[in-house]
Amino acid sequence: MALLEVHDVVSGYGRTDVLHGVSIQVESDEIVTIIGPNGAGKSTLFKTIMGYLIPRSGKILFAGEEVTALRPNKKVEKGMAYVPQLDNTFPSLTVHENLEMGGYSKDSKALKRGIEFAYHTFPILEERKNQRARTLSGGQRQMLAMSMALMSEPKLLLLDEPSAGLAPKIAEEVFRQITRLHDKGIGIVIIEQDAHRSLNISDRGYVLAMGQNHFDGSADKILNNPQIKEAFLGGR
Ligand SMILES: Nc1ncnc2c1ncn2[C@@H]1O[C@H](COP(=O)(O)OP(=O)(O)OP(=O)(O)O)[C@@H](O)[C@H]1O
Ligand SMILES: [Mg+2]
C-alpha cells in the first residue's frame, strides 16, 4: 500500500482550476521530487494534499484511507506534515515558541521529545532558542520551519522549495538533513527549483506543467531524458 495516493485531482482558487487532473503516488520509503515551471501548480498541489484547498474532483488517500476532504489539522493528526514555500514560521515568536506552535496537538512528553530532536538535528536552533524567528538567517529559518513540521512526528513530509534563497553550503546542509529524515522512515516529497540537487537524493520524480502530469519516472530517468533536460533542467 502506498503512503500517499493522489488520483486525478482537480483543484484551484475561487472558480479557477489550476490542477486539471493530477496524480502522484509516494511509497513510505521514498523521496520524490516534483519539478515544473513557475505557475505549473506545484504549490497548489501541496495545498490540496494538505487540505488547505479541497479538490473539486479526484481522490487523496493516505496510508490507504481516504482523506480527500479532511481539514489540515486532521491530516496532521494522521501523520501528514507540510513546510510551505512562504511564511513558514511566526516571525515575532522565538525559536522555542515556534517549535511549541508546531507541536500544538502534542502532549508535554511528545513536545519535549520533538524539541530535543529539533535541537539535536539543528544545533544552531538551540543556540538561538530565545531569539525571535525574524532575526534568523534564511537557512536557519528553513531549518526551524522543517523542525516545526516534524514536531507532529509525521510519516509524510511535504517540502515546498526547501533550498530557495539559500547559499549553496546551507542548501547542502538542509538536503543532508532531508536524507537523514528519510533514513528514519519518513516519506518525503520535495518541490524544488534546484532539480539536480533534489533529484540526486530522490528515488523518483514528477514533472508538472500547466496543472497536469507531464512526465514521471526514476530520478535517473528524469535527469537523463534529453527533452526534460532541455525544457526543465536548464539544458544541464
Ligand atoms: N492564492 C491564490 N489565488 C489565486 N490564484 C493563485 C493563488 N496562488 C496561486 N495561484 C495561481 O495558481 C497558479 C499555480 O500557482 P502555484 O503557486 O501552484 O505554482 P508553482 O508551480 O508552485 O509556481 P512557483 O514555481 O512559482 O512556486 C498560478 O497561475 C498562480 O497565479
Ligand atoms: Mg510554488
Residue 212 CB less than 6 A away from ligand 1: no
Q: Which atom of ligand 1 is nearest to the CA of 161?
A: 27
pLDDT value at position 235?
66
**DSSP bridge pairs for 188:** 31, 157
pLDDT value at position 80?
97
Residue 39 CB less than 6 A away from ligand 1: yes
- Give 36: exposed, middle or buried? Use CB within 10 Å, 0-12, 13-18, 19+: buried
pLDDT value at position 232?
80
Query: What residues of the chain score a pLDDT lower than 70?
Result: 235-236
pLDDT value at position 193?
86
pLDDT in tens, 82-123: 999 888 999 999 999 999 999 988 899 999 999 999 999 999
Dump the DSSP string for 42-104: HHHHHHHHHTSS--SEEEEEETTEE-TT--HHHHHHHTEEEE-SS--S-TTSBHHHHHHHHTT
3-state secondary structure of 113: helix
Residues contacting residue 233 through CB under 8 Å, at least 6 positions apart = 35, 195, 196, 223
Rounded Cα–Cα distance for residues 232 and 218 (Å)? 16
pLDDT value at position 87?
87
Please state whether the predicted TM-score (pTM) of the whole model is above 0.75: yes
Spatial CA neighbour of 190 closest among 140, 132, 235, 149: 149
Share of the chain above pLDDT 70, in %: 99
Q: Which CATH number fits domain 30-51+79-232: 1.10.540.10, 3.40.718.10, 3.40.50.300, 3.90.1150.10?
A: 3.40.50.300
**Ligand 1, atom 27: closest residue by C-alpha:** 38
Tell me the domain boundaries of the chain: 30-51+79-232
pLDDT value at position 229?
86
pLDDT value at position 200?
94
3-state secondary structure of 138: helix
Q: Grid coordinates in use for 123? A: 544545533
Q: Is 106 in contact with 90 (CB distance < 8 Å)?
A: no
